[in-house]
Structure 1
Amino acid sequence: MAKVCTKDIVDKFGLELISGEDGINRPITTSDICRPGIEVAGYFEFYPADRIQLIGKTELTFTEKLRVIERQLRFERLCTDITPGIIISRGLEVPEELIVASKRESVPLLRTTQKTTRFSSLLTNYLESKLAPTTAVHGVLVDVYGVGVLITGKSGVGKSETALELVKRGHRLVADDCVEIRQEDEYTLVGTSPELIEHLLEIRGLGIINVMTLFGAGAVLSNKRISIVMDLEIWDSKKQYERLGLDEEKMKIIDLDVPKLTIPVRPGRNLAVIIEVAAMNYRLKRMGVNSAEQFTSRLADIMDGSKE
């Protein structure tokens, strides 16, 4: 099933449907938009017919100077059986030849009152968001001091209970149990909750609770950029855990490597406080302050001084 079709952009931007309504459910498979200036001039060698075609004042003004037969042929070649739609910007008058061609091939012919460049930017951003690569991860996503923290771990390790404690401490829940993640661009992963379980937390022994109902609208967030992963695991006395924080693990999500911290869980450890500190430490690192590196540098200076 297509992620987005022509009808979606009609509803999203309030576009006027002029003709070609039979093709209103055509799928849109790319976020790229074509400004068919060179095609209107007659060159169709590399015409990207599978893209939304956006026609502005420049293209329409040029077609007015063409002979009627030329104009008909150019518009007929613009309208193919895979073209998801043709949009006229600035509320400009649509040539009759284009209306006839769009009806013949059932290509939705749409119109917006917005300027061409502005609308192109809005439509591109919308399509990139809708068509972004997606995946789902078993875990909990919370916003801690403005940092998106994805809490992972085996079932029963305490992810939801930790999230509940973080919410009580003033932080915000994005998703529990299943986190839907989309890669919006080369460096950005955004997590959301499936609609069915939005705002809900499952606490073993207590059941399902509605975080927004209990703690208010300020305790939930619809989506959040993922910055770090906190992997909770049962304490293993035979395993060596990171003590300084110099070696940074990574977790690959779609195409991005996200910083990952492995947090051993055992009675007496306050996981909510640890995650809060991890979020603050992450922000410090982004500002250029790395406590582990500073400690290592001081230790090296002391060792060098003792040798002299």
Structure 2
Amino acid sequence: MRVPDSPDALRLTVADLLKDEARGLRLSLLSPEVPLEREISNYRIQKHGLIFAGFDQFFEPERMQLMGVAEVAYLATLTPERRLEVVAQLCVLQPICIIVTRACEPPAELLHKCTECEIPLLQSQLSVSAFFDAVNRYFEDFINPETTIHGVLLDIHSTGVLLIGKSGVGKSEVALDLLQRGHRLIADDVVVMRFRPPATVVGESNAILKFHMEIRGLGIINIEDIFGITAVRESQRVDLVIELIAWDEYDGSKRLNLEPENFPVLGVNIPKATIPVNPGRNLVTIVEVAAHTFRLQEQGKNTSSALLDDLARRLNPDSD
């Protein structure tokens, strides 16, 4: 899990918005002379056009301020003197930064005032709505905890299945067979797990190992090159964990699976199934059935419990 070693470990500044990790925001700097070390402490965005009318009652300077096409068009209707007065009203409040969306060119008066007041002025290629979505995802990735797990994450009929187990138990081989059946790979070996509110864990591949898989005897293979783009996906919610174990390690007392197992990840309990590995067992089909069974259980259908209930009624017909 990402845990800060110091108070600055999770410190986010305006400069961070221009780094590769934030390239999805498609930002560029319009005021290069301005320092960019202002700390972003509020992860909400504000689009406050009313400030140009002199109404600043609900203005929150610690938020990033967005300007869209409408605000830029409004400023263009003003005389240069009035435009300078209006942007001065905004800059005197010292917002953390100002972002102009849809690649709009801000008026020269705004750039001048931002430089004078040392307020970072940035430009995004995205529309206001697209920027809202992108920056919220960026903040979620930055704030929320993450961890890595050794395993293979697959999309099996829209169910995120994480295969875990000791090295050499056959996780990658099972995954390879599943890919041949049309299922999709998210990550092999190193699965990056991220928490998503309110209680979801999403897995994705390590950036270096993305869409690669190690098969003993073959070495490293690229799944996207072999099976095509439809055999991979960027991320997937983790719905089910399947642990592959040696046959002699399996606890036979749990054969009916009446007591559900859970696998805790980042404070979220994910349903877990344990499958013993033995030569001759068709693990691929078993894993597929496990994914289907999980979906049925989500709908309240538990075959083992239903069978035992029916058996109890037959053995004790007078108990009803």
TM bucket normalised to smaller:
0.7 to 0.9
Task: Go from structure 1 to structure 2 and tell me whether the alpha carbon gap of 1:123 and 1:109 turns closer, same or farther (over 3 Å shift).
Answer: same
2:203 and 2:237 in contact (8 A); partners too = yes
Q: How much has 1:148 moved relative to structure 2?
A: 0.9
Task: Show the counterpart of 1:229.
Answer: 241
CA shift for structure 1 position 146: 1.6
Alignment equivalent of 2:291, drawn from 279, 288, 295 = 279
Match for residue 77 of structure 1 among 74, 78, 93:
93
Of 53-62 and 132-141, the range deviating more from structure 2: 53-62
Within 5 Å, give how 1:246-257 maps onto structure 2.
246-257=258-269
Number of residue pairs matched by the alignment: 299
**Structure 1 segments unaligned to the other structure (5+ residues):** none
Partner of residue 291, structure 1? 303
2:94–2:117 contact (8 Å) kept in structure 1: no
Q: TM-score of the superposition, structure 2-length normalised? A: 0.75
Aligned equivalents of 2:319, 2:186: Cα separation in 1:
53
Distance (Å, rounded) in 2 between the aligned partners of 1:261 and 1:30: 41
Q: Superposed, which structure 2 residues align to 1:6-45 within 5 Å?
A: 6-8=17-19, 11-15=23-27, 17-20=29-32, 22-23=34-35, 31-35=43-47, 41=55
Give secondary structure in 2 for the equivalent of 1:201. strand
70-79 or 231-240, larger mean C-alpha shift: 70-79
- Show CA shifts across 1:98-156 (max 9, x none): 53453245432134587656643443244324544221111111111221110111111
Alignment RMSD (CA, Å): 3.8
Contact (CA 8 Å) 2:25, 2:134: kept in 1 or not? no
- Displacement after TM superposition at 1:248 (Å): 1.3
C-alpha separation in 2, matches of 1:93 and 1:74: 14
Verify the 8 A CA contact 1:6 1:24 in the aligned structure 2.
no
Q: Deviations over 1:176-225 (max 9, x none)?
A: 11111222332332211123222222122332222233333332222222
TM-aligned CA deviation for residue 305 of structure 1: 0.3
Q: 1:238 to 1:201 in 2, by over 3 A?
A: closer
Distance, in Å, in 1 between the alignment partners of 2:38 and 2:87 is 25
List aligned pairs for 1:48-197, cutoff 5 A.
Answer: 49=62, 51-55=63-67, 72=88, 75-79=91-95, 83=96, 85-88=97-100, 91=104, 94=107, 96=109, 98-104=110-116, 106-111=118-123, 116=128, 119-129=131-141, 131-197=143-209
Deviations 1:29-70 (A, max 9, x none): 6642245689875569x9562x422356689989x9x99889
Q: After alignment, is 145-154 or 126-135 more displaced? A: 126-135
The unaligned stretches of length 5 or more in structure 2 are: 1-8
Q: Is the 8 A contact 1:102 1:108 kept in 2?
A: yes
Alignment-mate amino acid for residue 279 of structure 2: P
For 2:294, what is the secondary structure of its paired residue? helix
